[in-house]
Amino acid sequence: MLNWRNCCLVLCVLVLGYPARPAEPTIPPASQVQEDQLIATLQSDASHQAKAEACRHLQVYGTKKSIPALEAMLADEKLSHMARVALEPMPDPAVDEALRRALDRLEGRPLVGVIGSIGVRGDAQAVDALAKRLLDKDIMVAQAAARALGSIGTEQAAAAIEGNLDKMPKEQLLHAYEGLLRCAEALSAADQRDAAVRIYDSLRSLPEPHQVVGGAVRGAILARGRGALRLLREALADENYIVFSAAVQASQEMRGPRVTSVLCSVLPDLDA
Same domain membership, residue 82 and residue 64: yes
Same domain membership, residue 199 and residue 185: no
Same domain membership, residue 226 and residue 154: no
Same domain membership, residue 242 and residue 186: no
Output the domain CATH number for residue 118: 1.25.10.10
Count of domains forming the chain? 3
Domain assignment present for residue 5? The answer is: no
Question: Residue 52 and residue 228: Cα distance in Å, rounded?
Answer: 51
The domain boundary residue, chosen from 175, 190, 205: 190
Q: What is the pTM of this model?
A: 0.82
What confidence tier does 2 reach under pLDDT thresholds 50, 70, 90? very low
Same domain membership, residue 217 and residue 183: no
Same domain membership, residue 234 and residue 183: no
The domain boundary residue, chosen from 146, 175, 190: 190
Q: What is the pLDDT of residues 119-138, one digit of tens each?
A: 999 999 999 999 999 999 99
What confidence tier does 226 reach under pLDDT thresholds 50, 70, 90? confident
* Range in 31-40, 47-56, 141-150, 190-199 with the lowest mean pLDDT: 31-40
Rounded to the nearest integer, the mean pLDDT of the chain is 88
Same domain membership, residue 164 and residue 198: no
Domain assignment present for residue 255? The answer is: yes
Residue 223 confidence (pLDDT) above 90:
yes
For residue 27, what are the CA distances in angstroms to 23, 42, 84? 12, 22, 21
Domain span at 48: 33-91
The domain boundary residue, chosen from 57, 91, 125: 91
Domain assignment present for residue 65? The answer is: yes
What confidence tier does 104 reach under pLDDT thresholds 50, 70, 90? very high
Same domain membership, residue 253 and residue 229: yes
Q: What is the pLDDT of residues 230-259, one digit of tens each?
A: 999 999 888 899 998 998 899 989 888 888
- pLDDT at res. 272: 52
Residue 19 confidence (pLDDT) above 60:
no
